[in-house]
Amino acid sequence: MRKLILIIYFILFSLLNGIAQNLPALLNGRINYQKRVNLYALLDDLKGLSNDEKLKLNKIKESTGQFFIQDFTLSFQKDKYYFKRNEAGIQNALTAISNLTIFTDLSTKIFYSEKSIGNDNFFISDTIIPIIWRITDETRNIQGVECRRANGLLFDSIYVVAFFASNIPISGGPDIISGLPGMVLEAAIPQFHTTWLATRISVEELKDEREFNSSFKNSKYVNYKSFLDSIKNMSKNWGFLKELFFQEIRI
């Protein structure tokens, strides 16, 4: 049904734009993402643990299960998008972030993000984190939209795979992943055993632009670097799982 709406939308759109018939583009809408983290694989990557820590981990494994699944919604309008976790507070022994919202303004290339780590809230604002992308010729159909694969390098060292939709001409995506000539509908960071997949795409007009911005008015922002510095400070008390938490917080 949803696909049908999308198709109808594209057809209507192309009729309205009589001059250019070819490319119905989706400029306003909402995308639901599911983020999956394979916790067991993450833990298996940890090296140099003591026997005691291994025992602890086994207990933790029992309590968390293999996959940690979170749902997000991304609302977009022309050159702005808003990425938000659906339910705040869901957390387990292996995750650090309890809530997350990111607002990105593509016209100024600045993002505003609110991350809750434990009970601490952080307000971060900086220019969009660059990713070096290599475009490939592989394509995949995600939720009825044709996407092209790109392989990227994040922080010059982390390998990212993303499938972006040329028909959604917003250079955005889930979490930190952006910078492609189209919305990222599926992504993976193999090193972190993390994947994002669009589960639903809907066409709708969004709230007024002012309102769009309002939730980010009052906060005191720090830049990304000083945010990482304060996390590094905090992480001294996090024990042997600190690398794991740090990975999650960085993206």
Partner 1 sequence: MYKYLIISIIILFPFFSKAQNISIQGRLKDSIDYVNLYNSTVMLLQPKDNFLYKFSRTDKYGTFQIKNIKEGRFILLITCSNYADFIDTISIKGDILDIGTIYMIRKEHLLEDVIVKAIREHAVQLIGDTTVFKADSFKVRPNATVEELLKELPGIQVDKYGRISAQGEKVQKVLVDGEEFFGNDPILVTRNLTANMVDKVQLYDRSSDRSKFTGIEDDNKIKTINLELKSDKRNSAFGKVSSGIATDKYYASSATYNLFSDKKKFAIYSLAGNDGLLGVNEDQSSAEYNGKGIPSVISSGIHFDNKWNDDRNYLNSDYKFLSLNIKGMDNQIIQNNLPNDVIITNSNKNFQNQTIKNEINSKFSQTFSDKSLMNISINSSITHQNNNDKLLQKSYQSGNVLLNDIQTILSSSANNKSFNGGLSWQNKITNGITYTLYLNQNYSSGYSNGRLYSKQNFYLTVDSSSLINQLKNGNNNNNNTVWSNTFTIPLNSSQSSHLTINHTLNINYSKIAKNSYNDTLNLLLDTTNSGNYNLKQFEQFGSIFYTYSKNKLFFNAGSNLGYSKYNLLDNFHSLNSLNRTFTIIEPQMKLRYSFSSQHRITLTYTGNNVQPNTNQIQPISNNDDPLNIYIGNPNLKPTYNNTLNFIYMNFKISNRRTILINTNYTFQVNPIVLATSTDNAGINTFKYINILSRNLNMFNSYLIYSRNFEKINIDINSTIGYSNSNYMNYTNEQSNLTSSSSYNVAFGINKLFWKIIKLRINNSVKYNTFKASIQSSMNNKYWTNTLFPEVESNIKSFIFHMDAVFNIQQKTILFPEFNTFIWNAWIGSQLLKNKNLLIKIQLNDILNQNSGIARSANNNLISQENYSTISRYLMLSLNWNFNKSNNK
Rule CB under 8 A: which residues touch partner 1?
A: 17, 19-23, 25, 132-137, 146, 148, 150, 153, 157, 159, 166-167, 169, 179-182
Shortest Å distance, C-beta 137 to partner 1: 5
Residue closer to partner 1 by CB (options 44, 138) is 138
Contacts of 54 (CB under 8 A, 6+ apart): none
Give the SS3 label for residue 56.
helix
- Distance in angstroms (rounded) separating the CA atoms of residues 58 and 222: 37
Contacts of residue 178, Cβ cutoff 8 Å, sequence gap at least 6: 104, 128, 129, 131, 171, 172, 184
Which residue number, 22 or 63, has a Cβ lying nearer to partner 1? 22
Q: For residues 96 and 145, which CB has a smaller minimum distance to partner 1 in the complex?
A: 145
Helix (H) or strand (E) holding 214: helix 209-214
Shortest Cβ 191–partner 1 spacing (Å): 11
DSSP secondary structure string for all residues of 187-235 = EEEGGGTEEEEEEEEE--PPPPHHHHHHTTSSPPPB-HHHHHHHHHHHG
Q: Which is nearer to partner 1, 54 or 78 (CB)?
A: 78
Q: Which of 34, 58, 35 is nearest to 46 (CA)?
A: 58
For residue 170, give the 3-state DSSP assignment: coil
| 22 or 237: CB nearest partner 1 | 22
Smallest separation, CB 139 to partner 1 (Å): 9
> Shortest approach of partner 1 to residue 111 CB, angstroms?
19
Smallest gap from residue 131 Cβ to partner 1 (A)? 9
